[in-house]
Amino acid sequence: MSEAPLKKGHRIALDCMGGDLGPSEAVAAAALALKEGIIGPDDTLVLVGHEDNLRLLAFEHRSLNSNRIQFKNATSIVGPDDAAMTVLKSKRDSSMVIALEMLKSGEVDMVVSTGNTKALVAAGTIKVRPMEGAERPALAAIMPRREGHFIMLDVGANPEATPAQLVHNAVLGAIYAQSSLGIANPRVGLLTVGTEEGKGGPRINRTHALLKAMGDRINYIGPVEGFDVFGDACDVVVTDGFTGNVILKTLEGLVYMLRDLVGSKVKRNPMYLAGGIAMFPLLRDLKGKLKPERYGGAPLLGLTGLVMKAHGSSNRQGIASAIRLGLEALGHGAGSRMLSALAEANKVISETPEEA
């Protein structure tokens, strides 16, 4: 983007304790991000967690012996099944909450966490607060399609979004598509159950009317169906957090089922064996393409600071890629552009009568 400021140093807090693979993988991710130049010469990465433990783990990676790496102690851990309220009430000393507090106070510009989604959404919303003009954050996932990728949001932060919140998702998602996918004028579609106007119920109809009223403030191409999203219909698919989360998880389930089916077929019928072996690189490629976490992280868009959620099962590549995605968004000045886009959207929302 030509208007992007020269990239200055950024400070990142990495919640090292929430992932399925434990703090050793988070520390390895930090080493990888340094080695690959994701963490630039002016950036700082703060490893948040059991400090003694983290320092021991860091000792194994030469690259982490750097003044760009810092440590912040946190004595407890948010578990994968901890309810959001539990975390907010009794885990204030957890690596997740301490990282979010650092973002709130301005000590860091961004938090990356593999911790449980519901807790991160709740704690992020309450600690970091929605940005002016936004009501609830939205989780934006990068998904594969025939050629390239598209963004779907919300995939789980706000299950029952209102029309205004869906419009917010649309403008936030469009700006994120610019920084993450490099698409200058991303096409935005509204996920529904029929592409005729009038399908999908009053909530979708009102959202559609508002998005049309946005005029050239957004490149809205209209309603899209689930069938179209893997084609080249649009770059940003807008939906509520319930539908988006269910789609994401159903797709993951289907991909795993496919993998198992291929495996069992090959076992049962030797005729498939030669083919199975020859197809192995193809299946591996497909798996890579279909993995929703290929891009490593999903930002919680619409907060006053940048919170990147990485998949709980992320390995070092996944976590490093979440750091990269976040830094790209910061480098593009996405935050300030989101603020003005939200203000414009809210003006349109308040000026568009219900029966538009």
Residues 305, 244: Cα–Cα separation, whole Å:
23
Tokens representing residue 271 in the block: 């005729």
The strand order across the sheet containing 110-113 reads 69-73, 44-49, 11-15, 110-113, 306-310, 297-301, 138-144, 149-153, 236-238, 188-191, 220-224
Q: Is 227 in the site for a second copy (CB under 8 A)?
A: yes
Residue 82 DSSP label: -
Q: Within positions 297 to 336, which residues make up the interface with a second copy, using CB under 8 A?
A: none
Residue 343 as a binder of a second copy (CB under 8 A): the answer is no
Residue 51 or 225 having the CB closest to a second copy: 225
Q: By CB under 8 A, is residue 137 in contact with a second copy?
A: no
Which residue's CB is nearer to a second copy, number 135 or number 225?
A: 225
For residue 161, the Cα-to-chain-centroid distance in whole angstroms is 18
Q: Cβ of residue 279: shortest distance to a second copy, in angstroms?
A: 4
Rounded Cα distance between 286 and 226, Å, is 20
Of the candidates 216, 187, 182, the residue with the CA atom closest to the CA atom of residue 334: 182
Minimum distance between the CB of residue 139 and a second copy, rounded to whole angstroms?
11
- Please identify, using beta-carbon distances, which residue of 249 and 347 lies nearer to a second copy: 249
For residues 36 and 225, which CB has a smaller minimum distance to a second copy in the complex? 225
Give the integer Cα–Cα distance in Å for 237 and 141. 10
Binding test (CB under 8 A) with a second copy, winner from 191, 210, 300, 320:
191
Interface residue with a second copy among 2, 6, 67, 278 (CB under 8 A) is 278
Residues 222, 228, 287, 349: which binds a second copy (CB under 8 A)? 228
Rounded CA gap, 52 and 30, in Å? 16
User: What does the per-residue mask of binding to a second copy show for 76-105, with x meaning CB under 8 A?
Assistant: -----x-x----------------------
Closest CA to 240 of 206, 192, 292: 192
Give Cα 275 to chain centroid, integer Å.
36
* Position 262 contacts a second copy (CB under 8 A): yes
Identified binder of a second copy from the candidate list 95, 125, 207, 243, rule CB under 8 A: 243
Closest C-alpha among 267, 321, 262 to residue 291 = 321
Among 37, 41, 215, 281, which residue interacts with a second copy (rule: CB under 8 A)?
281
Residue 260 near a second copy by CB under 8 A: yes
- Closest separation in Å from C-beta 314 to a second copy: 16
Give the interface size with a second copy as a residue count (CB under 8 A): 64
| Interface region with a second copy, contact rule CB under 8 A, candidates 51-59, 62-70, 252-260, 318-326 | 252-260
Helix or strand (DSSP H, E) at 224? strand 220-224
| Cis preceding linkage at 93, omega within 30 | no
Whether the Cβ atoms of residue 82 and residue 106 lie closer than 8 Å to each other: no
* Residues from 156 through 185 that contact a second copy (CB under 8 A): 156, 159-160
CB neighbours of residue 75 within 10 Å: 12
Judged by the rule CB under 8 A, the positions of this chain that interact with a second copy are: 81, 83, 118, 145-146, 156, 159-160, 191-194, 196, 198-204, 225-231, 239, 241-243, 245-254, 256-258, 260-262, 265-266, 271-272, 274-282, 285-286, 289-290
